[in-house]
Amino acid sequence: MHTPPLAVRHTPLVAVYGTLKRGLRNHHWLDGADFLGGDRLTSATLYDLGPYPAAKLEPSQGIEVEVFRVDARLLAGLDRLEDYRVRTPREGDYDRLVHTTTFGPAWLYLYNRPVAGYPVIREGAWLPR
């Protein structure tokens, strides 16, 4: 796995693509974060798991994300929600890696579990059912 420079590893930005987006059920986890805007990432593909999506590090035509500036407390909360384990990131449900956005480098949570058989979203946004 590529280790980004120290300044990037401490980016205050996070890009969200599912239930953390504005108006959706987990957005309250971002209360106090600054919304910077929307963007499209071509470095990830989404899978529709039903109640939430999963992102995989696979090229796409552009998945829609929202980018927020967060502090360490909010990022720690997101890590708990996504079952990201700092010391063993491949063992939790999600890992997080830095991706380039219009607003600068941002964390993106990537799903660690298999996604075979789930609907693929290579362009656009995941929509809750």
Known catalytic membership, residue 66: no
Residue 37: which domain range?
6-123
pLDDT of residue 112: 97
Assess if residue 31 is contained within a domain.
Answer: yes
Kindly report the pTM of this predicted structure. Answer: 0.91
User: Could you give the number of structural domains in the chain?
Assistant: 1
pLDDT of residue 10: 67
- Sheet harboring 120-121: ordered strands across? 53-56, 45-48, 120-121
Assess if residue 129 is contained within a domain.
Answer: no
How many CB atoms lie under 10 A from the CB of residue 28? 9
Assess if residue 11 is contained within a domain.
Answer: yes
What digits encode the pLDDT tens for the residues 71-112? 999 999 999 999 999 899 899 999 999 999 999 999 999 999
Assess if residue 63 is contained within a domain.
Answer: yes
What digits encode the pLDDT tens for the residues 8-28? 556 799 999 999 999 999 999
Assess if residue 1 is contained within a domain.
Answer: no
The domain that holds 14 is classified in CATH as: 3.10.490.10
Assess if residue 128 is contained within a domain.
Answer: no
| Residue 28 CB partners (closer than 8 Å, separation 6+) | none
pLDDT of residue 9: 57
Asked whether 63 and 40 are in contact (CB, 8 A), the reply is yes
Q: What is the mean pLDDT of the chain?
A: 92
Assess if residue 95 is contained within a domain.
Answer: yes
Which residue among the candidates 64, 66, 82, 123 is catalytic per the annotation?
82
